[in-house]
Amino acid sequence: MAKVLSYEDGIAAVYGGAILGGGGGGLLEEGLKLVEEIFAAGTPQLMDISELNHEDLVACVAMVGAPSAADQYISSEQLCWSYHSMNHYCDQRLKGIITNENGANTTINGWLQSVLLNVPVVDAPCNGRAHPTGIMGSLNLHEQPNYQSVQFYAGGKAHFAVQGFVEGTLHNTAKTARQASILAGGLVGVTRNPVTIDYLQKHGAPNAITMAIELGYGFLKGQTFEEKLAHVLQQLNGVHIVSGAVKKYSLTKENGFDVGKLAVGDYHLTFWNEYMTLSKEGQVQSKFPDLIMTFDIEKMIPVPSASIQEGMHVAVIHVDQANLKLSSTMQNEALLQEIDAIIQDVL
């Protein structure tokens, strides 16, 4: 039986997702705005993965492109077309939708489709924390022999409107959907890569949405920043590393990613959208997929890497990866090795 989610669940999911975003996963204010849109349309449903059969199919829904683009537009009809087209492709076997990761925006990704389509969001994201590359959210499907990715996409209005279907390697289909987003004015809604519940159970992050909601409720019930942080650390079995003013902050945009570094006290952090490393005196003490996260002490909110400012007073926490709900991709050494090449350039 699917659980009907409340508006309060939505707010909690955004805050908890922002923390589990680990520096990425979208902006808090955008997530809160999306909650208003979702619950103005109706009430989404969340289903535990155990409620479904092993051979049932689910598909990932996502927004692809640049949400800040001036001409971006996606209608409810386009979101529904993407899902219905995929369901037709799958001989009407889709039993629900999943999101790709936890984050301020991404934890609630698919909730609007749940309302519009009357289908449940399955509580098993492709990953329980945010990650920089698309392949890290693809459930290690790229390692399946002869695997062919399938994506239906739609977006844009007037002369920008575009919709379509692509099948091929994960790399090529992702590249095609991103190119379509450019033609659509900046953004397309995508339904992609259907998998069985059995495969998702082994490679995804079951119960990660519930984890984000519970974490958000814990954070929000604190009256002071110290109480809020204490609730987070208790729920995640995390450690408060340091608090202080941000120094030596730098950010550059490279191939659509935010890459940079900052210092707080004696500690140095690097990020590739999400925080990648935490070091002291030149020694790396924590590395992705461990969760490293920053909080704006004055505003008492989680703050992602791209919103950090020089001089901002922040608290830095660390959570060991063993305490997170992670995809099998987070143990894929070939994918994790990509981090080193990126981070070496900013150290």
Average of per-residue pLDDT values in the chain? 94
For position 340, what pLDDT does the model report?
Answer: 87
pLDDT in tens, 103-130: 999 999 999 999 999 999 999 999 999 9
Strand locations in 273-320 (E): 274-280, 283-287, 291-296, 301-302, 313-319
pLDDT in tens, 258-278: 899 999 999 999 999 999 999
pTM as predicted: 0.94
Could you tell me if 274 and 315 lie in one domain?
Answer: yes
Q: What is the CATH number of the domain that holds 181?
A: 3.40.1610.10
pLDDT in tens, 59-110: 999 888 765 567 889 999 999 999 999 999 999 999 999 999 999 999 999 9
Q: How far apart are alpha carbons 35 and 158 in whole angstroms?
A: 27
Q: How far apart are alpha carbons 248 and 279 in whole angstroms?
A: 14
Percent of the chain with pLDDT strictly greater than 70: 97
- Residue 133: name the closest of 268, 329, 295 by CA: 329
Could you tell me if 111 and 256 lie in one domain?
Answer: no
Residue 53's pLDDT band, with cuts at 50, 70 and 90, is very high
In a domain, 292, yes or no: yes
DSSP state string for 135-152: GGGTTTGGGSTT--EEEE
In a domain, 155, yes or no: yes
Segment 24-31 shows an average pLDDT of 92
For position 344, what pLDDT does the model report?
Answer: 80
DSSP state string for 165-226: EEEE-HHHHHHHHHHHHHHTTSEEEEEEEEEEHHHHHHHS-TTHHHHHHHHHHHHHT-SSHH
Q: How far apart are alpha carbons 199 and 89 in whole angstroms?
A: 19
Could you tell me if 108 and 257 lie in one domain?
Answer: no
Q: What is the CATH number of the domain that holds 263?
A: 2.40.390
What is the total count of domains within the chain?
2
Instruction: Specify which residues 3 forms β-bridges with.
Output: 46
For position 346, what pLDDT does the model report?
Answer: 67
Segment 43-48 shows an average pLDDT of 98
Q: How far apart are alpha carbons 238 and 181 in whole angstroms?
A: 38
Task: Name residue 305's amino acid.
Answer: S
Report the largest interatomic distance among the alpha carbons of the chain, rounded to a whole angstrom: 57
Joined tokens for residue 153: 């996409």
For position 66, what pLDDT does the model report?
Answer: 62
Containing 268, the helix (H) or strand (E) segment is strand 267-272
Segment 172-184 shows an average pLDDT of 91
